[in-house]
Amino acid sequence: MLTTELEKDLKWPSSIVVSEVGPRDGLQNEKTMFTVEQKISLIERSVEAGAKIIEIGSFVSPKAIPQMADTDEVARRMKRVDGVEYRVLVTNLRGLERAEAAGIKKAKLTVSASRAHSLSNLNRTPEEVLRGFAECAEYAATHGITLSGAISTAFGCSMEGKVPIEQVITAINGFREIGVKELSLSDTTGMAHPQQVYAYSARVKEQFPDITWNLHFHNTRGMGLANVMAGMMAGIGRYDACFAGLGGCPFAPGASGNIATEDLIHMCHEMGIDTGYDLDKMISIGKYVQEVLGKDTSSFVLKAGKSSDIVKVQNK
Amino acid sequence: MLTTELEKDLKWPSSIVVSEVGPRDGLQNEKTMFTVEQKISLIERSVEAGAKIIEIGSFVSPKAIPQMADTDEVARRMKRVDGVEYRVLVTNLRGLERAEAAGIKKAKLTVSASRAHSLSNLNRTPEEVLRGFAECAEYAATHGITLSGAISTAFGCSMEGKVPIEQVITAINGFREIGVKELSLSDTTGMAHPQQVYAYSARVKEQFPDITWNLHFHNTRGMGLANVMAGMMAGIGRYDACFAGLGGCPFAPGASGNIATEDLIHMCHEMGIDTGYDLDKMISIGKYVQEVLGKDTSSFVLKAGKSSDIVKVQNK
């Protein structure tokens, strides 16, 4: 058996879609407040580097998340490129109205698969949160906005432990009832492991073949890229990532954030999997983020460089 | 198709062997000099935590690697447990004689698959290094010492770039000629990626079924655990790891070290793969290492805790 035959055996995809969620999920976790100009620069540069889906911010309570208070202005002033999906996170009808006013055509709703997490964050059960989305769906339909859904703590919850797939399916059904066709399973707490990712991904993909599936991983316990591999083997083609690997876990201070966009596309390109990104441009964006923050982040490639970087070493 | 059926599809192993290489590959990269007592404590505690193979040090030039100068004393004074393999790294006959004098029955020889790396480190080609091992094999055979071999830069070299499998096979054949039956492919520079690991592992396993195979990964570019997954899928059952994730890459200052033992066994146990280790005991060893060093290391689980740690959060 030849190496090339073996490589085929694992059925890697030839390409995946990487959504850049840094402007929202990354920046909202930083104490440093990025200016509107800096945010616009990050968005425009990410799109120029190859992002086809970018989460530019959220329309939520500015008291709860002050880092996202200026998303309206960001959305109005940023340059838009045809064919790129500029997405925002919203939590209710008010957020959706702000999205509409800012000319945003794609909004993401999120619900927690964990009851304890939902109660702790929103003081409402997942079922109550999902019921609240009905008016959003109606508004979206009449205003030309497409909705996607994210299911947070889809694998584990720091308060409840491992989240059974039945709770995930309850959330999926809630989203399906309001007509959402694109869903993300989010490992909010960095507890997912490859076997679980494979099992959950394969299950939802088979049970709900009409849904476009996305996975969202944190690298909290070092399994971020291993989980992407497991997702790819289960046939999932879309992954969130965040420039410089920003985005901590509130339950594990000091822990790593989202998988870094540059780490994910570096691995993919090394494996011959196309992402449509220019890795060097994403590395330079990551370095800019670190400069603004004045600190290192949990990105690996920003520290170590690409595998293809050749080092000249003097003979000893 | 049920979830349980899907899980079986990926053919995870039910157990793997994790060799603790921290006392050698970890400590040799630290400026902090551990005392003989501290090293013995780390070795004995690791064995008590479940290590069945432990690399206790190396018999090399104390000028080149002063951190390993006291391996003789460590070997003589440590408590030995029946059935545990206490292994040392040696580079030549002199090292093997020191191993014999210290009552060590297992020694690892290492050669680089990369010509440039070999020349830079030893001023000799891989072929010259391998020829030099013949006298070691003779000595080992007459003194009841078992040899294993490690092939460094087996996937990539910071100077040469990607290392073709033919160069790895040259090294394998060199080791086979002197009767070595246990070999490790080492990703010295952290350049391996899952597709390559799967391909190289499957290839060597098929071409050399009489060899016991081991893989050694660094987490330099975040792919450490993804590479273990790829190795497991190719049927490799043995992996090196290092407490607290010590062991940097000399070509990428600040980059992550070996995969951390606690991260690897955490992932395995989450996936239902037995390692024979007590994770809590390994975590406590990792914390002790960080205490002695007075710094955080690249371990994830030491920062974030286990996935199964339940956090109590106050309602907002």
The yes-or-no verdict on residue A135 having pLDDT over 90 is yes
User: What is the spatial distance between Cα A242 and Cα A238, in angstroms, rounded to a whole number?
Assistant: 14
The yes-or-no verdict on residue A2 having pLDDT over 80 is no
**pLDDT bucket at B311, cuts 50 / 70 / 90:** confident
Better-scored residue on pLDDT, A187 or B314: A187
Region A133-159: what's the mean pLDDT?
96
DSSP of A192-250:
--HHHHHHHHHHHHHH-TTSEEEEE-B-TTS-HHHHHHHHHHTT--EEEEBGGG----T
The yes-or-no verdict on residue B315 having pLDDT over 50 is no
Region B145-169: what's the mean pLDDT?
96
The tokens for A88 are: 């925002």
DSSP of B42-62:
HHHHHHHHT-SEEEEEEES-T
* CB-CB neighbors (< 8 A) of B309 in chain A: 158
pLDDT at site B248: 74
Q: Is B103 left (phi over 0), alpha (psi -120 to 50) or beta?
A: left
pLDDT at site B8: 46
Answer whether A181's CB lies under 8 Å from A211's CB: yes
**Hey, which CATH number is domain B17-297, 3.20.20.70, 3.40.50.1580, 3.40.50.970, 3.40.50.2000?**
3.20.20.70
Among B161, B268, B171, smallest CA distance to A311 is for B161
Where do we find the tokens 């109005």? Answer: A76
Region B217-221: what's the mean pLDDT?
95
* CB-CB neighbors (< 8 A) of B1 in chain A: 202, 206
Among B263, B211, B266, B274, smallest CA distance to B241 is for B263
The yes-or-no verdict on residue A7 having pLDDT over 60 is no
Q: Which residues pair with B238 in a beta bridge?
A: B17
Answer whether B300's CB lies under 8 Å from B259's CB: no
Region A76-93: what's the mean pLDDT?
97
ipTM of predicted assembly, 2 dp: 0.95
User: What is the spatial distance between Cα B242 and Cα A137, in angstroms, rounded to a whole number?
Assistant: 51
pLDDT at site B122: 87
pLDDT at site A266: 98
Q: How many residues does chain A have?
A: 316
Contacts of A236 (CB under 8 A, 6+ apart): A201, A205, A213, A214, A215
Angle made by CA atoms B24, B28, B34, in degrees to the nearest 5: 90
User: What is the spatial distance between Cα A313 and Cα B118, in angstroms, rounded to a whole number?
Assistant: 12
Specify the DSSP class assigned to residue B33.
P
pLDDT in tens, B237-294: 999 999 999 987 665 666 679 999 999 999 999 999 999 999 999 999 999 999 999 9
Q: Which residues pair with A90 in a beta bridge?
A: A59
Answer whether A246's CB lies under 8 Å from A257's CB: yes
Helix or strand (DSSP H, E) at B138:
helix B134-142
Among A193, A249, A196, smallest CA distance to B303 is for A249
* End-to-end Cα distance, chain B: 41
The yes-or-no verdict on residue B313 having pLDDT over 70 is no
User: What is the spatial distance between Cα A99 and Cα A76, in angstroms, rounded to a whole number?
Assistant: 10
SS3 A17: strand
* Cβ contact A221–B316 (<8 Å): no
pLDDT at site B254: 64
Q: A26: how many CB neighbours lie within 10 A of its CB?
A: 28
Contacts of A5 (CB under 8 A, 6+ apart): none
The yes-or-no verdict on residue B233 having pLDDT over 80 is yes
pLDDT at site A244: 97
**pLDDT bucket at B2, cuts 50 / 70 / 90:** very low
Measured in whole angstroms, the distance separating CA B208 from the mean position of its chain's CA atoms is 21
pLDDT at site A61: 92
Region A289-310: what's the mean pLDDT?
94
* Cβ contact B313–A158 (<8 Å): yes
Among B100, B49, B57, B62, smallest CA distance to B78 is for B57
User: What is the spatial distance between Cα B190 and Cα B257, in angstroms, rounded to a whole number?
Assistant: 9
Region B52-66: what's the mean pLDDT?
95
The yes-or-no verdict on residue B312 having pLDDT over 70 is no
Q: How far is B70 from chain A (nearest CA, A)?
A: 24
Answer whether A78's CB lies under 8 Å from A117's CB: no
* Cβ contact B203–A123 (<8 Å): no
Measured in whole angstroms, the distance separating CA B303 from the mean position of its chain's CA atoms is 22
* CB-CB neighbors (< 8 A) of A205 in chain B: none
pLDDT at site B250: 61
Establish whether A268 is a catalytic residue: no
User: What is the spatial distance between Cα A67 and Cα A87, in angstroms, rounded to a whole number?
Assistant: 17
SS3 B67: helix
Q: How far is A269 from chain B (nearest CA, A)?
A: 10
Strands A85-90 and A53-59: parallel
The tokens for A208 are: 């709900």
A136, A157, A242, A249: which one is catalytic? Answer: A249
**Hey, which CATH number is domain A10-304, 3.20.20.70, 1.20.1250.20, 3.40.50.300, 3.40.109.10?**
3.20.20.70
Sign of CA dihedral B42, B45, B49, B52: positive
Q: What percent of chain A has pLDDT over 90?
A: 88
Q: How far is B224 from chain A (nearest CA, A)?
A: 8
Q: Where are the alpha helices (DSSP H) in A143-177?
A: 165-177
pLDDT at site A11: 74
Among A220, A225, A310, smallest CA distance to A273 is for A225
User: What is the spatial distance between Cα A254 and Cα A260, in angstroms, rounded to a whole number?
Assistant: 16
The yes-or-no verdict on residue A316 having pLDDT over 50 is no
Residues A8-18: b if buried by 16+ CB within 10 A, e if exposed: eebebbeebbb
pLDDT at site B236: 97
Computed over every residue of chain B, the mean pLDDT equals 93
**B60, B196, B200, B223: which to substitute to probe chain A, counting the most A Cβ within 10 Å?**
B223
pLDDT at site A59: 97
Q: Which residues pair with B51 in a beta bridge?
A: none
The per-type count for chain A, helices as H runs and strands as E runs, is 13, 10
pLDDT in tens, A205-262: 999 999 999 999 999 999 999 999 999 999 999 999 999 999 876 656 666 799 999 9
Q: What percent of chain B has pLDDT over 90?
A: 88
* Cβ contact A313–B120 (<8 Å): yes
Domain ranges of chain A: 10-304
The yes-or-no verdict on residue B200 having pLDDT over 50 is yes
B136, B242, B249, B268: which one is catalytic? Answer: B249
pLDDT at site B70: 97
Region B151-164: what's the mean pLDDT?
94
Among B66, B132, B74, B137, smallest CA distance to B103 is for B74
Q: Is A112 left (phi over 0), alpha (psi -120 to 50) or beta?
A: beta
The yes-or-no verdict on residue B316 having pLDDT over 90 is no
The yes-or-no verdict on residue B86 having pLDDT over 50 is yes
* CB-CB neighbors (< 8 A) of B316 in chain A: 120-121, 123
